[in-house]
Amino acid sequence: MFMDPNKWYLSCPPLGSAEEPHGLVVYRIAESDPPGAKDFQSHFELGKPLPRKVDKCRWRSISVYENLVDARKTAAFLTKKRNLQALYIAQGTLEAAHGVVLHTPSNGDSHHDWWPCDNVDRLQPFAVIEQV
């Protein structure tokens, strides 16, 4: 299922605590409608530098939210921070075949890290539901 050697040496994803989703409805912030492959890549895959205080395993995950309100708040913040005209929120339902997730809240929100399975179509379960 998880064949990426860049993940394994970090014990990534954290199989002891990450869980397979079963019908987990999540929200992903995207820069385009419809979302493109770039919207579903980790910071590692995008070539972004690893921040000092960020775990290497989490750097290889994709952020999703279980609560739409949390996704809206983050999208609004990012729109202002990055001086963007708009961002979009895509809704998707993750199943075990899509990978594993770990609830990683920040200030009590519904943030999850998602480690997709290798060769899974990351865009397939998602569709934009609104513009922020």
Does the predicted TM-score (pTM) go above 0.85? yes
pLDDT digits (tens, 9 = 90+) for 44-78: 999 999 989 888 888 999 999 999 999 999 999 99
Question: How many angstroms from the chain centroid is the CA of residue 76?
Answer: 17
pLDDT greater at residue 25 or residue 8? 25
CA–CA distance, 113 with 62 (Å, rounded to integer): 6
CA–CA distance, 42 with 80 (Å, rounded to integer): 21
Flag whether pLDDT at 17 surpasses 90.
no
